[in-house]
């Protein structure tokens, strides 16, 4: 079956699926490259979280703003960054998204409204409120979305951002990717309420919802609804998306602190499987899905090659881009 | 135009001029609207520009500066007020880790043209948590421009430059100068950031000062003149960009250097100035370099105690006398 | 009638009343001295808030810990500081509570567990949690109480302190003195919920209660109940006490931003009047009450005189007490 | 006792020794319990001392340090971990305005014996928000002691001194040294805070270094020795108390000074050292003073870029060559 024969809805779902596979494959490649010593520093892989990024992005306008965390590869890609520029950044190449100045934790694609990945927990939540404020001031109808982890709900910036957004009725969505753990500590051990994000919404008088973060369709629908509300001037909302990470917290963390039974249960609740299931339900033949898988695999293979062959940054670039004039002079 | 205006009035005037010029300029902060700011440095703004351009915030310094950052990335030119510069500590992550770094770490993709204004400095008996001169905190972080004007006209001119700057600027307004009067700024007055001013000429010693230390250094210079010592006073105006060219040029004339800093000696900005001089200006020096700075203690409440720990005219005069005797 | 003839309860109430009058008179004296130029810097008077400090203190053990804000004269006095040492501090005398190093915003009486007045909004809330943690670790049965304003509920430290206290089940009470304003801005304009403190309790899974903060008996009873709960190991609670300040925010602020009708209504709901009413109800004769008033007035008159006559601090003291060895040396 | 231990092991060992000695010592921080800390610098503590002495916290830096402060006031000796020193910015109010000031502003009524430990420094490709050397931030604030050991034995000895100190100590553990090995600390090893160590003697130039810059300066000294230049290396160990006596004594022998700092040049600690020298040691100097410090930019991710902006052996060697040619 040619994808042209699919209904619009189903074709879109297939496209979302393919995007998720592309992210998953890229994450897997990043992991392998890290183990091979080709990725320096650290990585925080989002394999398992794909449906949140892809589902939310599908519900947004092209000119909306997205703010992500150090675990942000999926958001950069969902907003249009290709596997090559992402992997090149991780591999310290001049062709990386940030010219190898940022690294895995700071993937940014400003041209498509993906305004950055921030590595200090919670710091970007007020920024997203500010971007939403700006949209309101400029009357553009844009909204801003901040993605963050369950652990971020206990930091002060979370509280300040949510209250400000609520008081100013800003068009901003706060989307928590609750993967049950901060780094190695279960979130339940350090959080006073059961749903770290959704159960806090009442403290700001805003809607607090939960969604299956591994179901791309559910995420897209929920975000679309909350986005419409925000765009209409009804203010911010807090969405908690349940998910799980397939890799450890970062680098080569084997995540031994997670009970085997829990891991197994969640691996069975995989966003790709769920989407594949939905495609099958809708009558999409297995070969069509496999073709999407293969396209993604091939794209990542080529991206890895290209990134490997890309040049290293010029050391002199270390002294550019501090100031808007492109330079770094702090004195005369 | 009035004959003289206060430094306090100059702040509001400086902001208002830019708000008139550019619709992208918006203000946010605690009690800056109807109340006109606790120091009355935003008086009249909400009346002229309305609540869509002058926003009262909760007591949420992180949200204030974080939101300013998000707005700056997306087409606005926010001017955020942090009421006392001590409270910069409550949003330090934004000043230290986010705002000055985001342009660099995104490879130049994101630009944050914003101003964080704050009331700085002591001498008013506000105690340990409301009196600090914290400009040296900002100096520890590459990527922030740092402005600290000493006169009403400079307030207006540097505010214009700060708001028009595509780089983030921390703008220190000195509490001890708010009531000080000076010539008003001419129309369209812009003082480029990073240009120090020689505000008093002299051949015997260079006094490098900032903000409230400038009038203090000038008073010291006047006293020294009576003793026949001609002190040159350099108003740095900015710490970043730091105008070392002007400092070194003055030193070439005087061969002697005293910094006059309100921040504590340890980690104070004068140390950076001195270290450049001890390297590039070593050959110019005829005597040791002296720093008149805050004592390395928290700021005490009582006048008699506060006077003991912050720079005074007497301390500057004594330091210069010492040096000229060298 | 001699106070010895009163029932214990009534005698205690009379004592609380007298303490409140003493605070009110001291605040009035501070205000006058400020206008006379004898108090430098700033003051944040708590006239109107007396019932919260006095009622809460009456419900605490002598070894419990109290943390207050820059608006803290009433808490220092409720925990045993006399008017003379308070006024001496405000008047920059060596005999002041903090040797004139602190000033109005930092009144502290550590000897009686009043561990300080903090002038950065919200900063003391985590400290109070820490003192409670310490009590728990040492097994002393002490609790800690943090008093703070309505405006403090929107700052990050509030959120972090509450969550930590809840997760660790610490014996700490968070008591909000809601006087409807931050400095000059109505709290309702900048807060997402109607009750800035109590409506946030659910975000931490702890009790959130309201009380008439101008009724010393109601405050004492409520705090006693929550304190007992905390002492028993049942964790923290959030109490919101409604009150109003009689003076402006600080210094000579005339508080012109407050509607006349609102001011009038609240001045009629004065904590001293309410307590006096209760004393009358209980049959305490007017002369007994007046005698208490006069004792307080006289005590404050004497305190003002003594403070005026006390010596200024030695300038050399500016260089002591940075380090525990008493000195200030930062280098060799 | 093992022949050598790692710096990482020394951190846990240093804390454990004090926890054994004093029941008032308790630890708190993110992932420090069962996980043993993200840098494994608290490995084994929860096993030995149990969850009543080793507390996992939420991601709440303000609550961590604020609670440590409250506990320190009331009879405990808390050791708080802030995972990366960059995150000190998230609780800067406590470091800048509360902890260092409370003793002073209460007239000595309250004492806060606590340690804030944190992983500091770069060179590992962690990028702009996880690589900073932030010891200069702490130096801007009077009232904090600042320790930054360079060897495993010093880690243990300075940890003992820090935990036993009745003053607050910020304890910088260098990420780049965690895997470094060295002699274990003898039993009851205590290194008094504020004692610099001359770790390599030489008559031609004094290199003043801290933490990871110490081995780097030693490598530079070794290279310079091959060229016949004898560099003396001073390991400052602490920024407060700052052992200027040792620095000036070394300078009296060498007449030349180079500071080797990882923090950025602007506002870096070396500036304070240099400014004392330019005053009190002016007569000792035969040449300009040079500072090898971080470039004034955020820290870039890629190795090739990071290398360009932080001190390297080559840069130190070049600076010394330059000076000795003077
Ligand atoms: C302010 C701050 N504190 C601590 C850290 C270290 N840290 C990085 S990720 C992380 C866990 C975050 O957990 P969560 O928010 O649930 O996000 P996840 O990693 O699970 O996606 C921690 C503690 C940090 N980066 N910033
Ligand atoms: C972090 C911080 N931000 C701002 C201020 C300035 N400030 C002092 S008091 C105050 C209002 C506080 O209001 P609230 O908490 O309601 O207490 P109240 O003064 O009414 O007792 C403000 C904004 C401060 N001290 N600290
Ligand atoms: Mg998580
Ligand atoms: Mg209030």
Encode pLDDT of A169-193 as tens digits.
999 999 999 999 999 999 999 999 9
Residues of D annotated as part of the active site: 61, 130
Q: How far is residue A98's CA from residue A100's CA, in Å, rounded to a whole number?
A: 5
Eight-state DSSP code of residue D24: T
Enumerate residues 6+ apart whose C-beta is below 8 A from C93: C100, C307, C310, C311, C312, C313
Enumerate residues 6+ apart whose C-beta is below 8 A from D61: A155, C160, D82, D87, D88, D90, D91
* pLDDT tops 60 at residue D211: yes
Q: Find out whether D74 and C65 touch, Cβ atoms under 8 Å.
A: yes
Cα dist. D268→A27, B139, B257, D94, D171 in Å? Answer: 39, 9, 20, 21, 17
Q: How far is residue D68's CA from residue C131's CA, in Å, rounded to a whole number?
A: 8
**CA atoms within a 13 Å half-sphere pointing along the CA-CB vector of A283:** 7
Average pLDDT, chain B: 98
Domain boundaries along the sequence of chain D: 5-182, 197-324
Architecture field, domain A3-308: 3-Layer(aba) Sandwich (3.40)
What spacing in Å lies between the alpha carbon of D210 and ligand 1's midpoint?
A: 29
Q: Find out whether C78 and C53 touch, Cβ atoms under 8 Å.
A: yes
CB contact under 8 A, B66 and A102: no
What spacing in Å lies between the alpha carbon of C191 and ligand 4's midpoint?
A: 12
Encode pLDDT of C161-178 as tens digits.
999 999 999 999 999 999
- What pairing do the DSSP bridges indicate for beta strands D257-264 and D290-294? parallel
Atom of ligand 2 nearest to the CA of B31: 23
- Residue C145 token pair: 């109480």
CB contact under 8 A, B275 and D289: yes
Please classify residue C232 by burial: count the beta carbons closer than 10 Å to its beta carbon, then call 0-12 exposed, 13-18 middle and 19+ buried: exposed
> What pLDDT was estimated at residue A3?
62
Secondary element (H or E) of residue D80: strand D77-84
Residues with CB under 5 A from ligand 3 (ion): A 149-150, 179
Best CA proximity match to A86, nearest among A76, A94, A78: A76
What residues of C are in contact with residue D280 (Cβ under 8 Å)? none
Can you tell me whether residue A207 is helix, strand or coil?
coil
> What pLDDT was estimated at residue A6?
80
Residue of C nearest to A197 (CA): C203
Query: B286 touching D, CB under 8 A?
Result: no
* pLDDT tops 90 at residue B2: no
> pTM of this prediction?
0.98
Can you tell me whether residue C13 is helix, strand or coil?
helix
Q: How far is residue D243's CA from residue D225's CA, in Å, rounded to a whole number?
A: 26
What residues of A are in contact with residue B98 (Cβ under 8 Å)? 118, 120, 123, 127
Average pLDDT, chain A: 97
Look at the block and give the residue holding tokens 């008033």. C293
Best CA proximity match to D171, nearest among D65, D265, D90: D65
* pLDDT tops 60 at residue A1: no
Query: D35 touching A, CB under 8 A?
Result: yes
Q: How far is residue D208's CA from residue D235's CA, in Å, rounded to a whole number?
A: 6
What spacing in Å lies between the alpha carbon of A70 and ligand 1's midpoint?
A: 9
Domain boundaries along the sequence of chain A: 3-308
Helices (H), C140-259: 156-167, 216-229
> What pLDDT was estimated at residue C7?
83
Angle value at C-alpha D260, between D257 and D264, nearest 5 degrees: 120
Mutation site for C-interface testing, chosen from D62, D242, D275 by largest number of C Cβ within 10 Å: D62
Best CA proximity match to D30, nearest among D94, D71, D82: D82
CATH 3.40.50.970 fits D5-182, yes or no: yes
Q: Find out whether C229 and C221 touch, Cβ atoms under 8 Å.
A: no
* pLDDT tops 70 at residue D195: yes
Query: D222 touching A, CB under 8 A?
Result: no
The answer to whether the CB of D126 is under 6 A from ligand 1 is no
Q: How far is residue C11's CA from residue C7's CA, in Å, rounded to a whole number?
A: 6
Encode pLDDT of A277-292 as tens digits.
999 999 999 999 999 9
For residue B150, what pLDDT band results from cuts at 50, 70 and 90?
A: very high
Encode pLDDT of C24-50 as tens digits.
999 999 999 999 999 999 999 999 999
Look at the block and give the residue holding tokens 């040691």. D281
CATH of domain D197-324: 3.40.50.920
Q: How far is residue A146's CA from residue A60's CA, in Å, rounded to a whole number?
A: 12
CB contact under 8 A, C137 and D105: no
- What pairing do the DSSP bridges indicate for beta strands B205-209 and B181-182? unpaired
Secondary element (H or E) of residue C12: helix C8-35
> What pLDDT was estimated at residue B325?
85
Low-confidence ranges of chain C (pLDDT < 50): none
Residues of B annotated as part of the active site: 61, 130
Q: How far is residue B16's CA from residue B4's CA, in Å, rounded to a whole number?
A: 18
Best CA proximity match to B231, nearest among B201, B262, B189, B186: B201
Q: Find out whether D229 and D204 touch, Cβ atoms under 8 Å.
A: yes
What spacing in Å lies between the alpha carbon of A182 and ligand 1's midpoint?
A: 6
The answer to whether the CB of B95 is under 6 A from ligand 2 is no
> What pLDDT was estimated at residue C2?
60
Encode pLDDT of C97-142 as tens digits.
999 999 999 999 999 999 999 999 999 999 999 999 999 999 999 9
Query: D110 touching C, CB under 8 A?
Result: yes
The answer to whether the CB of D30 is under 6 A from ligand 1 is yes
Q: Work out whether the CA dihedral D305, D307, D311, D313 comes out positive or negative.
A: negative
- Which amino acid residue places its CA nearest to atom 25 of ligand 1? A120
């Amino acid at each position: 079956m040619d994808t042209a024969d699919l209904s619009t809805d189903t074709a879109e779902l297939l496209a979302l699926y393919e995007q998720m596979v592309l992210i998953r494959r890229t994450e897997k490649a990043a992991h392998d490259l890290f183990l091979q010593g080709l990725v320096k520093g650290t990585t925080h892989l989002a394999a398992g979280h794909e449906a949140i990024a892809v589902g939310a992005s599908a519900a947004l306008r092209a000119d909306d703003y997205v703010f992500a965390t150090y675990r942000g590869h999926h958001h950069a890609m969902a907003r249009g960054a290709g596997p090559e520029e992402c992997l090149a950044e991780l591999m310290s190449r001049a062709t990386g998204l940030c010219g190898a100045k940022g690294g895995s934790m700071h993937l940014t694609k400003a041209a498509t409204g993906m305004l950055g990945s921030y590595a200090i927990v919670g710091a970007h939540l007020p920024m997203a409120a500010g971007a939403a404020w700006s949209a309101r001031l400029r009357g553009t109808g844009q909204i801003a979305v901040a993605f963050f982890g369950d652990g971020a709900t206990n930091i002060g910036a979370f509280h300040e951002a949510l209250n400000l957004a609520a008081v100013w009725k800003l068009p901003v969505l706060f989307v928590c990717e609750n993967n049950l753990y901060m780094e190695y500590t279960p979130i339940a051990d350090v959080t006073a309420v059961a749903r770290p994000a959704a159960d806090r919404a009442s403290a700001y008088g805003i809607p607090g919802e939960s969604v299956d973060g591994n179901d791309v369709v559910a995420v897209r629908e929920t975000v679309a609804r909350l986005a419409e509300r925000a765009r209409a001037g009804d203010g911010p909302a807090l969405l908690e998306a349940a998910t799980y990470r397939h890799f450890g917290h970062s680098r080569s963390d084997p995540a031994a602190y997670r009970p085997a039974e829990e891991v197994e249960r969640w691996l069975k609740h995989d966003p790709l499987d769920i989407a594949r299931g939905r495609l099958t339900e809708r009558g999409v033949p297995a070969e069509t899905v496999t073709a999407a898988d293969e396209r993604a695999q091939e794209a990542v293979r080529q991206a890895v090659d290209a990134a490997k062959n890309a040049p290293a940054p010029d050391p002199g670039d270390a002294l550019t881009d501090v100031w808007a004039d492109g330079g770094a002079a702090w004195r005369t | 135009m009035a004959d003289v205006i206060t430094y306090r009035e100059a702040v509001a005037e400086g902001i208002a001029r830019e708000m008139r010029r550019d619709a992208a300029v918006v203000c946010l902060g605690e009690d800056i609207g109807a109340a006109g700011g606790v120091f009355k440095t935003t008086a009249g703004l909400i009346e002229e520009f309305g609540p869509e351009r002058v926003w009262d915030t909760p007591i949420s310094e992180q949200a204030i500066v974080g939101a300013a950052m998000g707005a700056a990335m997306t087409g606005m030119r926010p001017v955020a007020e942090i009421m006392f510069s001590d409270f910069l500590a409550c949003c330090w992550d934004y000043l230290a880790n986010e705002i000055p770094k985001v342009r660099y770490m995104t490879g130049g993709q994101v630009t944050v043209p914003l101003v964080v204004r704050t009331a700085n400095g002591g001498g008013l008996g506000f105690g340990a948590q409301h009196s600090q001169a914290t400009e040296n905190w900002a100096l520890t972080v590459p990527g922030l421009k740092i402005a600290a004007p000493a006169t009403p006209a400079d307030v207006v001119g540097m505010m214009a430059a700060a708001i028009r700057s595509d780089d983030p600027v921390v703008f220190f307004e000195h509490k001890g100068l708010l009531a000080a009067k000076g010539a008003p700024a001419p129309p369209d007055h812009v003082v480029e950031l990073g240009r120090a001013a020689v505000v008093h000429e002299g051949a015997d010693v260079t006094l490098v000062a900032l903000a409230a230390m400038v009038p203090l250094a000038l008073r010291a210079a006047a006293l020294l003149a009576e003793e026949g010592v001609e002190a040159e006073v350099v108003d740095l105006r900015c710490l970043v960009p730091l105008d070392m060219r002007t400092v070194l040029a003055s030193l070439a004339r005087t061969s002697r250097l005293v910094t006059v800093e309100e921040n504590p000696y340890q980690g104070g900005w004068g140390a950076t100035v001195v270290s450049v001089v001890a390297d590039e200006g070593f050959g110019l020096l005829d005597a040791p370099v002296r720093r008149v700075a805050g004592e390395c203690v928290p700021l005490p409440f009582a006048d008699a105690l506060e006077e003991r720990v912050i720079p005074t005219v007497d301390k500057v005069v004594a330091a210069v006398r010492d040096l000229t005797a060298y």
